[in-house]
Amino acid sequence: MEIVYALLLAGIAAIYVISLVHTKEKISDEYEFMNGLKWLDALSMTLTGICGRLFKSKKKERYNDDRLRQIYVKDNVEEAAYVHRIRKVSLSIVIFSVFLILGILNELAGETDEKNISNIKRPDYGNGQKQVDVIAEFDDEKESLHLKVDEKRYTDKEVENIFSGSYKEVIRAMLGKNKSVDKVMYNLNLIDSYGSENIKIGWDLDDVKIVDYDGSVYRDNEDHEVKLYMTMSLEDYEKKYEVSLVIKAEKETDKSLQDIIQQYIDEEDLHNSNVSLPDKVDGVGIKYRLSGSGENIPFLMFGVVAAVLMYFLKDRDMDKELKKRKMQLEDDYSGIVSRVMLLTAAGMTIKNAWLRIADDYTKNERKKRKRYAYEEILLAAGKIRGGQSEKEVYRMFGKRCGIQMYIKFCNILEQNVIKGTKGMRELLEYEVHEAFENKKMLAKKRGDEAGTKMLLPMVIMLVIAIVIIVVPSFLTMERGM
């Protein structure tokens, strides 16, 4: 894992060096990055290009561009889309960096705790064999070892009943690949039951260094005669047999460090909870530490997955902003319609009233807070001053707002451009009345929604109150009984 982390850090450093050229890029002051760290902005700009190529979707881009046009109230949102992607990449970098740091800290803590171990905890009884990866250090060299540690075993007899009539069949099954008891070269099959009657079989050994309880046979350069004491039982009947085995010598071969230490472990007392490791092999001192066995891989996996998910989930922030935009448009509608009516009643044309509202917003309210409805009016006013058709500007204004009440209002304004001011005052007065009625209905609706949201906390408080009252009552009743 140390190599993986080193490569990741080297990669991040390389991308950072490449990204330094992006620090010269100019972004409008209107767009604020999610952080004030220039190095992260530059790094995000570099990775934005990479992510853009990897995860590019024209359909998704068009969908996001439409939403960004509503949020930033602009026709050209190329720069806004670019900044949005930078924000997503920046957040992904932060998420991945958190997991990377956690993995590095875990790796460092693991190295501190795992150095210079002298024993390995054997698996508890019934948990089976486990493999432990350790690093043996000797003579300024290191070697990775994959050691197998058998489970802890009990010394009590593991079986209860014997049936002596099956002696030959049991011996044949016990020998396994071996042809006879006088020539044992392979591991034994020390079965614990036999036959359709479920005869229970137990084994006792006189030298576990030669034949182990799991049937493992450890051969060296000499023949060995060992005795196995077999107990067969069935219900209350029990009979013991003594079986003599000849373990044939193993031809002398050069054993690897893996085999030497594995044999040392296998020769350890199976009743000990911990397995000691040899501190010397052939007179050479050895130190051990657990090698990285992938414990930190989940940190990297979760980091990558979380970063990628965050990159896509960041688009949900636009949904929240669009919901806020819709609420603002609904809240400001009555005020806009009433101001248009008042200004036209004072003698202004619809066009001049529109431009007046835009100018007042720019001078006064825009510095305090951004209001989407007035930003749309300001955008439309700029188009009118640019020479675009009033009718087309009003129609696009209603379309951009996307709410039925604004579309209806814009239809009234379009009629004014086509037919003139005849009947306009009555239409605007009626629309003002409708706007204020709609505002009352919206206020009532939002109040109901707020009450619904408060329902769950109220239920929780009610349950707590009931528990506080009822539990002491039951305790009092139990004491009285």
Give the pLDDT score at 302.
75
Beta bridge partners of 232: 239
* For helices 424-453 and 404-419, angle between their N-to-C axes, nearest 10 degrees: 170
Task: Report whether 376 contacts 326 (CB < 8 A).
Answer: no
Helix, strand, coil distribution of the chain in percent, nearest 5: 55, 15, 30
Give the pLDDT score at 393.
92
260 token code pair: 């030497």
133 token code pair: 């990866």
Q: Can you tell me which residue has the tokens 């948990």?
A: 127
Q: Which of 458, 97, 18, 46 is nearest to 299 (CA)?
A: 97
144 token code pair: 């990775």
Give the pLDDT score at 1.
57
Low-confidence ranges of the chain (pLDDT < 70): 1-6, 9, 12-61, 63, 107-116, 124-127, 151-165, 196-198, 234-237, 251-255, 269-271, 282, 290-300, 311, 475, 477-481
Give the pLDDT score at 27.
54
User: What CA–CA distance (Å, rounded) separates 191 from 42?
Assistant: 68
pLDDT digits (tens, 9 = 90+) for 435-474: 888 888 888 887 777 777 777 788 888 888 888 887 777 7
Q: How far is CA 425 from CA 235, 395, 411, in A?
A: 108, 20, 14
Q: Which of 17, 81, 94, 13 is nearest to 52 (CA)?
A: 81
pLDDT digits (tens, 9 = 90+) for 401-425: 989 999 999 998 988 888 877 778 8
The domains of the chain are located at 2-114, 130-290, 317-455
242 token code pair: 């003594």
418 token code pair: 């086509």
Give the pLDDT score at 267.
75
Contacts of 391 (CB under 8 A, 6+ apart): 414, 417, 418
Stated pTM of the model: 0.46
